[in-house]
Amino acid sequence: MTEYQRPIVSRIFPRLTAIKTVLHIIIGPRQVGKTTAAQQIAGQWNGPVISVSADGPLPPDHTWIEVHWNRAATQKNSLLIIDEIQKINGWSEAVKALWDRHLQSGNDMVVLLLGSSSLLLQKGVTESLAGRFLLHRFNHWSYSEMKAAFGYSLDEWLFFGGFPGTARFRSDEKLWAQYIRDSLIETVLAKDVLQMQSIAKPSLLRHLFMFAATYPAQIVSYNKMTGQLQDAGNTTTLAHYLKLFDSAFLVSGLEQFKPGGHRKRGSSPKLILWNNALSSAILNIPFEQAREDHTLWGRLLENAVGGHLCSLLQGTLHELYYWRNRDKEVDFVVRSPGKIYAIEVKSSQFEAPYGMTAFRKLCPDAVPMYIGEGGIPLEEFFKGNAEDYFK
């Protein structure tokens, strides 16, 4: 089978050749093919390529960057790729100095940086490289990508999610779930989140993730979390940990929409897993059993829509919320510049839109969107981009 190339690779490549006055940085979750994409770009590059990785038993120091930088800088139209750069202590300061010197030299070298620890990568670029980089966001794999590369059906994607490296295990569901938990979840928590900053309660952070994974697309009060999580402390700590999960592309705690303002502070968060595999592996329920459980399947469907929206809207001017007033609820609310979209996910044509009716009384100009039965077909929605729906 020919190696699958994600559509985003075809979008990045011309930008590398056309925009040489900034650093190019690939950012995204673990295990979504960032390194593979860099290799595919290198294979198409019309010029010398210096491709190196800082992933070794002992991480190199910043002089290692300078050595390879100088190798590439001496060649015309070269491409320098540095993988796992976040493992080098002081990498962003070293790159800043080299890049500023590079701009003065008039050399046409292109630099592409990437790393598996997205949190640490983000920290470096925001603290030291302001105004010097262009981000290329590699999101979790969409339904259309998993279908094209591995033949996933929509139901399979809703359950097994969008990690390409796990596709080979889906015929053995116990092995698949174990792989997700050990090789993905624990790796991200240990190597990304816990390394990002000092975590006072690492066990609480893990327990909070496991808790969130069992409540996909559900609104859960902080009081309930503190009641069920041992040594939970105060709600400020839990809210902070949810922000870290969001930065690691794991879980978002959506805030409640408030008309006239940006958010309802202190509201109970709606927990959205960015990839359904994270929830399915923790719930540990067989695929066929989950498919027959109407309530659970409805949650997975709604969570998949929420995760897709989180991926689509990151780095844009759109903001994602939910809305609820007592027993009336709108699944998602998107605030765009000058416009508000109210989104309902329908798994059955018999679901009555009481929440939508109440919300539109509150926000008469809101644009209603229905996804699923009677609305935008699921396969069509999961293939779409933000520009397709939020003008």
Whether the Cβ atoms of residue 346 and residue 322 lie closer than 8 Å to each other: no
DSSP H helix total and E strand total for the chain: 19, 12
* 81 three-class SS: strand
Task: Please indicate whether residue 275 or residue 117 has the higher confidence score (pLDDT).
Answer: 275
167 confidence band (pLDDT: 50, 70, 90): very high
Region 175-193: mean pLDDT is 91
CB atoms within 10 A of CB 390: 20
Please state the pTM of the whole predicted model: 0.92
* 74 three-class SS: coil
Task: Give me the DSSP letters along 352-378.
Answer: --HHHHHHHHH-TTPEEEEEETTSB-H
Strands 319-325 and 328-336: antiparallel
What's the token pair of residue 185? 């979840």
Region 121-138: mean pLDDT is 84
- Of 32-36, 133-137, 335-339, 348-352, the one with minimum mean pLDDT is 348-352
pLDDT of residue 352: 64
Quick check: 119 pLDDT over 50? Answer: yes
What's the token pair of residue 63? 């002089």
Mention every residue, 6+ apart, whose C-beta is less than 8 A from residue 280.
159, 160, 161, 177, 180, 287, 290, 300
Q: Which of 263, 272, 270, 373 is nearest to 329 (CA)?
A: 270
d(CA 342, CA 331): 8
pLDDT of residue 197: 67
* 320 three-class SS: strand
pLDDT of residue 49: 97
pLDDT of residue 68: 96
What's the token pair of residue 100? 């500023």
How many angstroms separate the Cα of 30 from the Cα of each of 67, 118, 163? 27, 8, 9
At CA 122, angle to CA 125 and CA 207, rounded to 5?
Answer: 160
Whether the Cβ atoms of residue 81 and residue 42 lie closer than 8 Å to each other: yes
* Residue 8 phi, psi dihedral angles, 5° rounding: -65, -25
Nearest-Å Rg of the Cα atoms of the chain is 22
Whether the Cβ atoms of residue 220 and residue 269 lie closer than 8 Å to each other: yes
Mention every residue, 6+ apart, whose C-beta is less than 8 A from residue 31.
163, 164, 165, 166, 183, 184
d(CA 122, CA 2): 32
Mention every residue, 6+ apart, whose C-beta is less than 8 A from residue 377.
none
* 269 three-class SS: coil
d(CA 71, CA 280): 46
Whether the Cβ atoms of residue 240 and residue 222 lie closer than 8 Å to each other: no
- Of 183-192, 256-265, 274-283, the one with minimum mean pLDDT is 256-265
Quick check: 148 pLDDT over 90? Answer: yes
> Where does the chain have alpha helices with state H?
7-18, 34-44, 62-73, 91-105, 118-128, 143-150, 154-160, 173-179, 186-188, 194-196, 202-213, 222-228, 235-247, 276-283, 287-292, 294-313, 354-362, 378-383, 386-389
Share of the chain above pLDDT 90, in %: 71
Mean confidence (pLDDT) of the chain: 91
pLDDT per residue over 54-69, tens digit each? 987 788 998 999 999 9
Domains of the chain, start order? 7-137 (3.40.50.300), 143-389 (no CATH)
pLDDT per residue over 213-262, tens digit each? 999 999 999 999 998 887 777 888 999 999 999 988 999 999 999 987 55
Beta bridge partners of 368: 342
pLDDT per residue over 256-276, tens digit each? 999 875 555 668 999 999 999
How many angstroms separate the Cα of 101 from the Cα of each of 70, 83, 107? 11, 21, 10
pLDDT per residue over 46-102, tens digit each? 999 999 999 877 889 989 999 999 999 999 999 999 998 888 888 999 999 999 999
pLDDT of residue 1: 46
Whether the Cβ atoms of residue 138 and residue 58 lie closer than 8 Å to each other: no
Amino acid code (one letter) for 175 = L
What's the token pair of residue 37? 């994409």
